Structure 1
Amino acid sequence: MAGDAGDSPFRFGETIPAGTVLEGPVPAWFAPVVPPEPPIPFTHDLLEVSERYVVVDKPHFLPATTNGRIVRETVQTRLRVELDNPDIVPLHRLDRLTAGVLFCSADPGTRAAYQKLFQRRQVTKTYRARVTAEPPVGDSWTTVDLPMRKVAGEREVRVTCGGTPTRTRVRRTGDRTVELQPATGHTHQLRVLLAHLGCPIVGDDTYPVDAGLDLRDFTGPLGLVATRLELTDPVDGRPRRWRSGRRP
């Protein structure tokens, strides 16, 4: 903590009286007032709870973490309250509209070990998508490399020269269904990829056409589910695998 390290004159947990004049910028925690939020009528399922981590099956429409507009109605906040653990933090991206397996750290002491797995791309994440047209891929895995760029102030991510390189494995699994394994973690990577291939995901409100953001519209779930997550536990060396019970 900043106080323990000598970087702040205040100790961790110390309340700073209103009106206190500071000599300069001071690292400090603050607790903003969070207004009441309408409940999101979907619940997560606990897949595994341990001292080190919590794995959940996230529903569509429920954010993993706060996005600035939603604070209370998130997987992170719900888990912290439900399990009485303020240290729970999701360790990877799962969009609000995407359902499926979400891995969360529950212990600051082992968090870095699990974070490194995600940073080093040593976690296998498999998704299944239902698309609006026949995908131009076969039954075997095909690797697709695309440069993507998120422009500040825009919802859409663009495929453009000079963008951030992304890599995704994709294969057909049935009539207008595909399986995907992203090797990188760019915003909206799978949604942008499938729209670029001419087979947007069913229910996508942004690709290929931005229909506008409505956080209270629960009528058309996105046809995308994170179906599996696999890793080798960095603490005990055991292989671990979780599956979602949801379908796109």
Structure 2
Amino acid sequence: MHNITDRDVIYEDNHLIAINKRAGDIVQVDDTGDKSLEDMVKEYLKYKYNKPNEAFLGVIHRLDRPVSGLIVFAKTSKALERMNKLFKDRQVKKTYLAVVRQRPQEPTGKLINWLVRNREKMVTKAFNKEVKESSYAELDYALIGELNGFHLLKVEPLTGRTHQIRVQLSTMGCPIVGDNKYGYPRGSSKGSICLHSRSLTFVHPIKKETITLKAPLQHDGFWEKFSKFND
């Protein structure tokens, strides 16, 4: 298991720290008992600032284990409270990059579904109309590149549902490469899927200025081939 280093840190001030999460890391401790990203960042802060006790760290949002990219943590309780409100009020613009094999029928579009989470099987199902215990889900997508039979999509979710991008793209007929949970024919040997949290834009909870944070693509022999398609 690796540790967080300065190279993993995209942004840090007194209130927030943003990490470029590696695919395969869990954000918070789960049943596997594997070391979490939350704990790794706490250790990083403790040693960086020579803190005698554990550093405060607040989990604001999450990324699925096989997903890479930008994730922001709060370093103070005030920042945590205000960032939670920004996410809840949909005041955070989120951009993801996804690689699919199947070209979308339309190069750009909006997907609207109602999602039902099966907590026992840990999967989400999408419906085209509201059903019992469903949650509204909306995203915009755009085809921004093609390479060797793979298609790169920019995805902007307007809601933040569990597995939302994965199940909505799959329902459209474009499962994410490596995501055998949602219809891609085979999984990745690295336990990753080709979904990357690319950027977040929001008003800083303390400084009150708009900031945009971006996570570079993973250098894994695949993702960097698509770097020419995005700024």
1:190 Cα offset (Å): 0.5
Do 2:111 and 2:139's aligned partners in 1 also have CA atoms closer than 8 Å?
Answer: yes
Which one has a larger percent strand, Structure 1 or Structure 2?
2
**Residue among 156, 169, 181 paired with 1:206:** 181
Code of the aligned partner of 1:54 = I
Distance 1:40 1:68 in 2: 19
Q: Whole-Å Cα distance in 2 between the matches of residues 57 and 189 of structure 1?
A: 20
Q: After TM superposition, what 4+ stretches of structure 1 lie above 3 angstroms from structure 2?
A: 40-44, 209-212
Instruction: State how 1:55-70 maps to structure 2 within 5 Å.
Output: 55-70=18-33
Partner of 1:19: none
Aligned: 1:144 with 2:111 = yes
Q: Which residue of 2 aligns with 1:119?
A: 88
Which structure is richer in relative contact order (CA contacts within 8 A, separation 6 or more)? 2
Q: 1:158 to 1:204 in 2, by over 3 A?
A: same
Taking only the aligned residue pairs, the percentage that are identical comes to: 22
Q: Which residue of 1 aligns with 2:45?
A: 83
Unaligned runs of 5+ in 2: 47-53, 224-231
Matched, 1:153 2:120: yes
1:145-224 alignment, distance < 5 Å = 145-160=112-127, 161-162=130-131, 163-175=134-146, 176-208=151-183, 218-219=189-190, 221-224=192-195
Find the aligned partners of 2:40 and 2:203 in 1 and give their Cα distance: 27
What corresponds to 1:130 in structure 2?
99
| Partners of 1:90 and 1:102 within 8 A in 2 | no
| Partner Cα separation in structure 2 for residue 41 and residue 60 of structure 1 | 14
Residues 140 and 157 of structure 2 are in contact (CA less than 8 Å); yes or no, is this contact kept in structure 1? yes
**In 1, Cα distance between equivalents of 2:73 and 2:11:** 10
The 5 Å alignment of 1:74-113 reads 74-84=36-46, 85-113=54-82
1:226 aligns with 2:197: yes
RMSD: 2.3
State the structure with more CA Rg. Answer: 1
Kindly state the Cα deviation for residue 42 of structure 1 after the two structures are TM-superposed.
Answer: 8.9
Q: Give 1 or 2: higher helix fraction.
A: 2
The aligned residue for residue 46 of structure 1 is 9
Kept after mapping to 2: 8 A contact 1:42/1:59: no
Contact 1:228 1:241 in 2 (8 A): yes
TM (norm. structure 1) is 0.75
How much does 1:231 deviate?
0.6
In structure 2, C-alpha distance between the alignment counterparts of 1:96 and 1:220, rounded to whole Å:
8
How far apart, CA to CA, are the structure 2 residues paired with 1:92 and 1:80? 16
Deviations 1:35-70 (A, max 9, x none): xxxx26997700112111111111100011112323
Aligned partners of 1:61 and 1:218 also within 8 Å = no
- Name the SS of the counterpart of 2:9 in structure 1: strand
Tell me the TM-score normalised to structure 2 length.
Answer: 0.80
How far 1:218 moved relative to its partner? Answer: 4.8
Give SS of 1:165's match: strand
Aligned residue pairs, count: 203
The 8 Å contact of residues 140 and 155 in structure 2, kept in 1 or not, is answered as yes
* Letter aligned with residue 144 of structure 1: L
